[in-house]
């Protein structure tokens, strides 16, 4: 049973560039959330996608955008990269009806470094 | 006041001891509570969930929830060196069916010494 898969594993970008991160949810899951985890901090909620729509958004600027495809996979796009965007980006999937009891399953993350 | 607070540690315990990790939250009507374990350089792994007052046990782990005190804890019995990791407390807040996000604390670093 494949878990949550993310690509790429590591990425180095220059300030001002744009980046796209990808996520395939765990088999059977229909909801994808994206989190940003800076060094020494807990994950911060960026947004969640369900039925190909952004269902909820955290306190992140419009430079952060996303998409969910019919097969439930998702992309996170970040435009005009800043040095402060350097972090571990985590994708988390769940079955909508199971969030209350089962939380989220996280992928291994994408380490983004902005130089 | 931060939404979810944890002592950052590090918390150091000897092998075989009980490790006690604590978390407080500010949203009085929070619904669900989770403990995640995160090894250095890895992603968070769910180890416990709890949503009713009281204790919930799973193997060496016990989660305790007190909604009146807005407090949730995790006890690890017979601690092993492999338990050394950062433990993240996560809370799903109020908002009924429209609030799906988990809010995380900064995590507590646990070190179990052989």
Is any Cβ of chain A less than 8 angstroms from the Cβ of B31? yes
Is any Cβ of chain A less than 8 angstroms from the Cβ of B2? no
Cβ-based contacts of B107 with chain A (< 8 Å): 41-42
- What is the DSSP track for chain B? --SEE-----EEEETTSPEEEEEEES-TT--EEEEEEE-TTS--EEEEEE-SSEEEEETTEEEEEETTTTEEEEEESS--GGG-EEEEEEEE-SSGGG--PEEE---EEEEEE-
Is any Cβ of chain A less than 8 angstroms from the Cβ of B102? yes
CB contact under 8 A, B49 and A101: yes
List all residues 6 or more positions away from B11 whose beta carbon is below 8 Å from its beta carbon: B19, B21, B108, B109, B110, B111
Instruction: Tell me how far apart the alpha carbons of residues A45 and A57 are, in angstroms, rounded to a whole number.
Output: 8
Judge contact between B63 and B51, C-beta under 8 A.
Answer: no
CB contact under 8 A, B46 and A103: yes
Determine the pLDDT at residue B97: 58
Of residues B25, B22, B49, B20, the one with CA closest to residue B35: B49
pLDDT at B94 > cutoff 80 = no
- In angstroms, the Cα distances linking A73 to A6, A20, A67, A107, B82 are 10, 13, 8, 12, 33
Determine the distance in angstroms separating the CA of A9 from the nearest CA of chain B, rounded to an integer: 11
Residues pairing with A32 in the sheet: A49, A93
Determine the pLDDT at residue B65: 96
Peptide bond into A114 cis (omega under 30): no
Instruction: Tell me how far apart the alpha carbons of residues A30 and A52 are, in angstroms, rounded to a whole number.
Output: 10
Determine the pLDDT at residue A48: 93
Instruction: Tell me how far apart the alpha carbons of residues B104 and A80 are, in angstroms, rounded to a whole number.
Output: 27
User: Over the stretch B29-52, which tens digit does the pLDDT of each residue have?
Assistant: 888 899 999 999 899 999 999 988
Of A42, A102, A109, the CB nearest to B104: A42
Mean pLDDT, to the nearest integer, of B1-27?
Answer: 91
Determine the pLDDT at residue A98: 57
Determine the pLDDT at residue A92: 95
Cβ-based contacts of B44 with chain A (< 8 Å): 43, 90, 106
Determine the distance in angstroms separating the CA of A26 from the nearest CA of chain B, rounded to an integer: 14
pLDDT at B93 > cutoff 90 = no
Of A42, A88, A102, the CB nearest to B49: A102
CB contact under 8 A, B101 and A48: yes
Weakly modelled stretches of chain A, pLDDT under 70: 1-2, 97-102
Determine the pLDDT at residue B29: 81
CB contact under 8 A, A106 and B103: no
- Give the number of beta-carbon pairs within 8 Å between A and B: 64
Judge contact between B49 and B34, C-beta under 8 A.
Answer: yes
Confidence tier at B4 by pLDDT (50, 70, 90): very high
CB atoms within 10 A of CB B24: 20
């Amino acid at each position: 049973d494949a878990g949550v898969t993310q690509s790429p594993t590591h990425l180095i970008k220059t300030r001002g560039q744009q980046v796209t991160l990808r996520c395939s949810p765990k088999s059977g899951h229909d909801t994808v959330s994206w989190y940003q985890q800076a060094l020494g901090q807990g994950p911060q909620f960026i947004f969640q996608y369900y039925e190909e729509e952004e269902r909820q958004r955290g306190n992140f600027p419009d430079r952060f955008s996303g998409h969910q495809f019919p097969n439930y996979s998702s992309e996170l796009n970040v435009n005009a990269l800043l040095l402060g965007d350097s972090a571990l980006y985590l994708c988390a999937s769940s079955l909508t009806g199971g969030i209350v009891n089962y939380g989220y399953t996280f992928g291994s993350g994408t380490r983004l470094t902005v130089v | 006041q931060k939404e979810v607070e944890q002592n950052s540690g590090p918390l150091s315990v000897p092998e075989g001891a009980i490790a006690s990790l604590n978390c407080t939250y500010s949203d009085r009507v929070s619904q669900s509570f989770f403990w995640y374990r995160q090894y250095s350089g890895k992603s968070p792994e769910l180890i416990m969930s709890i949503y009713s007052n009281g204790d919930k046990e799973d193997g060496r782990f016990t989660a305790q929830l007190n909604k009146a005190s807005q407090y949730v804890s995790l006890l690890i019995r017979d601690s092993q060196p492999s338990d050394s990791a950062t433990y993240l407390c996560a809370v799903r807040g109020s908002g009924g069916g429209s609030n799906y996000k988990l809010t995380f604390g900064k995590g507590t670093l646990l070190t179990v010494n052989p």
